[in-house]
Amino acid sequence: MDVHLEDLIVTVIYDNRGGAEGLGPAWGFACLVEGLEKTILFDTGGDSPTLLGNMAKLGVEPQDIDVVVLSHAHHDHTGGLAGFLDVHNDVTVYLLESFPNDIGSDARNRGAEVIKVSQPTELCGGATLTGAMVGRAGIQEQSLLLSTDSSAAVVTGCAHPGILSIVERAKEVTGREVRVIIGGFHLFRDSDASIRGTVSRLQELEVRWVVPCHCSGDLAIQRFADAYDHAFLRCSVGAVIPVGELLCTEHGDEQPPD
């Protein structure tokens, strides 16, 4: 199939911040990637009633999803999987080799194909996993990389290995500059000075669009908003991020596409 990257979009399905019309907030993260050869659910939030309820309100059909990626083995990212598979199990679930066995075996028992990865892995054209990265306390996590011929976007779950390390890994894996970062950046326990340092380092790395969600923390979200101005996109359930258009937009000082 022909892939038109302008059509590549990410929709937030599950986040701590709720959206309009009853889109439930709950602690955790999930988002949907559409516009590539495969439709990808990245993380599943903490519970399936919220995940599936938000999908229904957003008009997302579980049956349209081909791939489920679990970023890491924390419940606020894996908790919705079992209930999702009970509705739709014709999917391939990508998780890390380091995951507790019961998550993979339960998914297989519910009829899904399960692939355990540790190295960078291509899901389809334009979508690649970083492979396992290690964060504080040995927490292993993978992130999703969406790339065009010239640049890349990073989707993180909790960013336990550190958002800066993940951006560096993304550049190595894709050979592209990272222009867009979306997801939980896990800065909610960081000091203001540390947050400011991270934000300015991301600007030095020429990350042009930022969408901090989930565990990024209110202070960090404010700092990103201050530093990035209109290249900061506010995240809540139902937010639609036109990643393909952002990657095609050469400079972050242009207006974001509507």
Stretch that binds Zn ion, among 17-25, 57-65, 98-106, 212-220 (CB under 5 A): 212-220
Residue 182 binds Zn ion, judged by CB under 5 A: no
Closer Cβ to Zn ion, 34 or 76, answer by number: 76
Closer Cβ to Zn ion, 160 or 223, answer by number: 160
CB atoms within 10 A of CB 63: 11
> For residue 49, what are its two tokens?
């009633």
Q: Which residues contact 12 (CB under 8 A, 6 or more apart)?
A: 19, 29, 30, 31, 213, 235, 236, 237, 238, 239, 240, 241
Report the nearest approach of Zn ion to the CB of residue 11 (Å). Answer: 18
Report the nearest approach of Zn ion to the CB of residue 187 (Å). Answer: 12
Report the nearest approach of Zn ion to the CB of residue 77 (Å). Answer: 6
Report the nearest approach of Zn ion to the CB of residue 186 (Å). Answer: 7
Residue 158 binds Zn ion, judged by CB under 5 A: yes
> For residue 149, what are its two tokens?
């011929």
Stretch that binds Zn ion, among 34-42, 170-178, 208-216, 235-243 (CB under 5 A): 208-216
Q: Which residues contact 161 (CB under 8 A, 6 or more apart)?
A: 133, 134, 135, 139, 141, 169
CA distances from 188 to 8, 114, 165, 211 (A): 29, 32, 17, 15
DSSP-derived letter for residue 92 is E
Closer Cβ to Zn ion, 52 or 158, answer by number: 158
Q: Mask: binding to Zn ion, 71-100, rule CB under 5 A, as x and -? A: ---x-x------------------------
Q: Which residues bind Zn ion (CB under 5 A)?
A: 74, 76, 158, 215
